[in-house]
Amino acid sequence: MLNKIDALLSEIKGLKASSSAEAEELRIKYLSKKGIISSLFDEFKTVPPTEKKAVGQALNQLKNEAQQIIQRLKEQHEQSDTSHRKTDLTRPGASFPLGGRHPLSVVKNQIVDIFARLGFTVAEGPEIEDDWHVFSALNFPPEHPARDMQDTFFIHKDPDILLRTHTSSVQVRVMEKEQPPIRAIFPGRVFRNEAISARAHCIFHQVEGLYIEENVSFADLRQTLLYFAKEMFGKETQIRLRPSYFPFTEPSAEMDISCTLCGGEGCTMCKYTGWVEILGCGMVDPNVLESCNIDSKKYTGFAFGMGIERITVLKYQIKDIRLFFENDIRFLEQFKSAL
C-alpha cells in the first residue's frame, strides 16, 4: 500500500489546472468523500498492525500535500480571473430602498411653506417649560383648568416645571427678545394629559402663528387664514369664524373650513353641517403684550394655532391619529410621493 501512496503522491505533485473550475474538479476527484484518497483511508482498515504506523503517516502526508496543492491551484486561477475581469463603470449601481417623510413632517413643511410666502419666519423653543411662559405670561388665571395636574404633565412643583401644552410659550419667548414688527410661526411637539384614542393623544404637534405691528386688525387675521386655507385645501375652500374664548386673545374665534370631502354639502365627516373646525385664533390680548414689555397702546396683533395631526387627518382623510405614532411601514409607505 505504501507503493500505491507514493505513486499517488507523485501524481498529485504533478497536477495542473487551466481554470478554477478544473481545480475544483481535482478537489472532488482526490479529496471528496468518494475521492481516491478517501478510498485509501477505507483500505487502511485492512493493513496489518505492524504496518499501520508507517502507512498512517504516509496517508496523512498524502492528504495534506493534496490539500495544499489543489488549494494553491484554486487561488492562482481565482486571482487571475479577478485581475482580468472588466468593470463596466457605466452600469447603474445597485438599488436600495428609499425612505420617505412622515406624513406629519410633510404637512408641517407645507404649512411652513405657505406662511413663508407671507413673510412669516420660523421660531422654536424648549419642550420643558416653566409656568411663566406656558400660563402666566399668556393671561391664564390661577384657577384655570389647564394648570391642573389632570390636564398637564408637571415635572416639578414650586417652582412649576412642566411639559409645554402648546407652542404659545415660544410666542412669549420671541416677544420677550424682540420688538415689533414680529411675524413668525412656531411649530413643535406638545403634551397634554389625555387618554389615547382614535381622536386624541397625549402627544401631538402644533403650529402657532403671531403677527404684531401697528394697526393690525381682525381683517388682517381673516385674510391671512383664508389664504392659508385655500393654499392648503384647495382654491374652492371657504372659511367661517365663530366667536370663542381663549385667555390670551380678545376677541377670539374658532375657524372652520368647508368640508373637504363633500364640499359643504353635508356628510359623516362634517356631521352634515358642511363645516369642519381646524384652528383657533384671535387678536392678542393687551395683557399678553404688556407682560412681554410691548406697548399695547401702540401695537396690536393676531395669533392662531392649529394641530398638525388635525390638518393631516383632514387632508388625507385618516380615521385614526394613533397611526401617526405606531410606525407601521404599511401606513407610512403611502406617503412616499407626498414630498
Query: Which range, of 133-147, 174-188, 246-260, averages the lowest pLDDT?
Result: 133-147
Strands 154-156 and 239-246: unpaired
Asked if residue 51 belongs to a domain, the reply is yes
Asked if residue 239 and residue 110 are part of one domain, the reply reads yes
Contact 269, 277 (CB under 8 A): no
Domain residues for the domain of 67 are: 1-76
77-104 mean pLDDT = 75
Predicted local distance difference test score (pLDDT) of residue 83: 52
Q: Write out pLDDT tens, residues 203-245.
A: 999 999 999 999 999 999 999 999 999 999 999 999 999 999 9
Predicted local distance difference test score (pLDDT) of residue 69: 84
| Residue 307 neighbours by CB distance under 10 Å | 19
Asked if residue 264 and residue 124 are part of one domain, the reply reads yes
Report whether pLDDT(33) > 90: no
Half-sphere exposure of 313 (CA within 13 A, CB side): 21
Asked if residue 123 and residue 257 are part of one domain, the reply reads yes
Structural domain ending residue among the three candidates 61, 76, 91: 76
Asked if residue 112 and residue 54 are part of one domain, the reply reads no
Structural domain ending residue among the three candidates 76, 92, 124: 76
Report whether pLDDT(336) > 60: yes
Asked if residue 9 and residue 107 are part of one domain, the reply reads no
Asked if residue 59 and residue 107 are part of one domain, the reply reads no
Report whether pLDDT(101) > 70: yes
d(CA 255, CA 141): 24
Asked if residue 95 belongs to a domain, the reply is no
Asked if residue 33 and residue 126 are part of one domain, the reply reads no
87-97 mean pLDDT = 79
Contact 12, 62 (CB under 8 A): yes
69-96 mean pLDDT = 74
Asked if residue 276 and residue 135 are part of one domain, the reply reads yes
Predicted local distance difference test score (pLDDT) of residue 224: 97
Strands 182-191 and 121-122: parallel
Asked if residue 66 and residue 181 are part of one domain, the reply reads no
54-65 mean pLDDT = 82
| Residue 224 neighbours by CB distance under 10 Å | 19
Predicted local distance difference test score (pLDDT) of residue 297: 95
Asked if residue 175 belongs to a domain, the reply is yes
Predicted local distance difference test score (pLDDT) of residue 298: 95
Asked if residue 84 belongs to a domain, the reply is no
Burial readout 230-259 (b: 16 or more C-beta within 10 A, e: otherwise): bbbbeeebebebeeeebbbbeebbbbbbbb
Predicted local distance difference test score (pLDDT) of residue 144: 75
Cα torsion 43, 46, 47, 53: sign: positive
| Residue 94 neighbours by CB distance under 10 Å | 5
d(CA 307, CA 107): 11
- Strand-pairing partners, residue 122, are 185
Asked if residue 43 and residue 121 are part of one domain, the reply reads no
What's the total number of domains in the chain?
2
Asked if residue 85 belongs to a domain, the reply is no
- Give the residue from 19, 14, 13, 15 showing the smallest Cα distance to 76: 19
Asked if residue 144 and residue 280 are part of one domain, the reply reads yes
Predicted local distance difference test score (pLDDT) of residue 80: 61
Report whether pLDDT(306) > 70: yes
Report whether pLDDT(110) > 90: yes
Q: Write out pLDDT tens, residues 278-298.
A: 999 999 999 999 999 999 999
Length of the chain measured in residues:
339
- What pTM was computed for the model? 0.70
The CA angle 217-223-225, to the nearest 5 degrees, is 105
Asked if residue 25 and residue 135 are part of one domain, the reply reads no
Cα torsion 105, 111, 114, 117: sign: negative
Sequential DSSP letters for 110-140: HHHHHHHTTT-EE----SEEEHHHHTGGGT-
- Which residues, 6+ apart, have CB-to-CB distance to 239 below 8 Å? 222, 225, 226, 229, 255, 256, 257, 258
Asked if residue 218 belongs to a domain, the reply is yes
Structural domain ending residue among the three candidates 26, 41, 76: 76
List the CATH number of the domain containing 310: 3.30.930.10
Predicted local distance difference test score (pLDDT) of residue 10: 82
**Phi, psi dihedrals of residue 288, rounded to the nearest 5°:** -65, -45
Predicted local distance difference test score (pLDDT) of residue 21: 82
Predicted local distance difference test score (pLDDT) of residue 149: 58
Asked if residue 234 belongs to a domain, the reply is yes
| Mean pLDDT computed over every residue of the chain | 88
134-145 mean pLDDT = 85
Residue 143 labelled as part of a binding site: no
Report whether pLDDT(130) > 60: yes
d(CA 231, CA 115): 10
Report whether pLDDT(137) > 60: yes
Asked if residue 116 belongs to a domain, the reply is yes
- Which residues, 6+ apart, have CB-to-CB distance to 214 below 8 Å? 180, 298, 299, 300
Predicted local distance difference test score (pLDDT) of residue 228: 96
